[in-house]
Amino acid sequence: MGINWDSLTFSLTPTDTMFISTSDIDGNWSVGEYLPYGDIKISPAAGVLNYGQGLFEGLKAYRTKEGKITLFRPIENAKRMAAGARRLCMPEFPEEKFLEVMIEIIKRNIDYLPPYKKGSLYLRPCLWGTGARLGVAPAPEYTFIVYASPVGPYFKEGFKPIKLKITTDFHRAAPRGTGNVKAIGNYAGGMLPAKKAKSDGFSEVIYLDAKKDLYIEEVGAANFFCIKGDTLITPPTDSVLPGITRKSVMQIAKDVFGMEVIERAVHIDDALTADEVFATGTAAVISSIGLIEYQEKEYIYNNFTVGPKTEQLYNYITGIQLKEIEDKYGWIVDVDI
């Protein structure tokens, strides 16, 4: 296959097999098929193409030191996709079948699962309105599709701290909108802010709330955390995506490290005066933030090195994912090949 495991980035490497199942609007899903990865045929009048009736998920499979294969909290992805389906008037894909397909996709693409600590196999389940309809209304037919790609770090810095910029030019989501579901339509609007930030030397932007422009929401595709003393603070998920990594980190911080964990609005000043700040996500894992720019001023954290508490949390969550730390929560699904 000629994959250089040492130079993986977060980009698409097509694998052998994808999964496709279709349904009517009532959720009568077909058994589905495992097909060679490739292009699909779709109506130009499909709901997903015309009105953005689509959702996606992201989850990772890892190879442990002993050569075992793990999947991190897949049922959480199934549940989040089901919540998004309800919001976008799509049929839910059943949880047990979701898990079965994830495992089968890993097995059928096993040659693409990177070696221990060289990366992971990223699974991308999508739910789309693929039936044709001209008016703005739910499509008559739906497709659930899963493909996979070996991936490396989301940010080119890897585990080194990243630089972010608080944008006052753009918002990502509005109260009572779709910011808290993984709707495909939430992402295109973030491309221009990210492009501008990158051309100024930043990895991404941090979005503020759309109502007051005073509170941190999240990073382009990751949740935001700050640490002050022994307290871990993160914004609530009203218009922010309820990240699975976010939820896991909050639990670990409380149970394992005895931190006080608070979910509340994070004022810009709070974030700028924190001891440590980081972003979490399936793709981003835990990415330490070394610098934030706001209104042309730069704020540096922990001398631009990974903070001690951020590192502890990173080691713990990745330890669970790689079966090096006991998974007392039952978060890991073992995949037997």
Residues involved in catalysis: 182
- Which H/E stretch holds residue 98? helix 95-108
Closest CA to 206 of 189, 192, 224, 188: 224
Residues in a beta bridge with 24: 141
From CA 54, how far away is CA 81, in angstroms rounded? 10
Residue 244 touches which of ligand PLP, ligand COI, none (Cβ within 5-8 Å per kind) = ligand PLP
Q: Does 283 bind ligand COI (CB under 6 A)?
A: yes
**Contacts to ligand COI from residues 53-72, by CB under 6 A:** 58
- C-alpha distances (whole Å) from 22 to each of 49, 55, 262, 322 are 16, 15, 41, 34
Site for ligand COI in 179-238 (CB under 6 A): 221
Contacts with ligand PLP, 200-229, as mask; x by CB under 6 A: ------------------x--xxx------
Other residues' Cβ atoms within 10 Å of the Cβ of residue 200: 11
Query: How is residue 168 written in tokens?
Result: 């006052």
Candidate residues 130, 178, 280, 288; the one interacting with ligand PLP per rule CB under 6 A: 280
CA separation for the pair 280, 247 (Å, rounded): 10
The nearer residue to ligand PLP, 81 or 139, going by C-beta atoms, is 81
- Residues between 1 and 60 with contacts to ligand PLP, criterion CB under 6 A: 58
Among residues 130, 143, 239, 282, the one that binds ligand COI under rule CB under 6 A: 282
Q: Judged by CB under 6 A, which stretch of 143-151, 206-214, 275-283, 300-308 contacts ligand COI?
A: 275-283
Q: 197 in helix, strand or coil? A: helix
| 16, 109 contact by CB (below 8 A) | yes
Residues at the site binding ligand COI, with contacts judged by CB under 6 A: 58, 221, 281-283
Residues at the site binding ligand PLP, with contacts judged by CB under 6 A: 58, 218, 221-223, 241, 243-246, 280-282
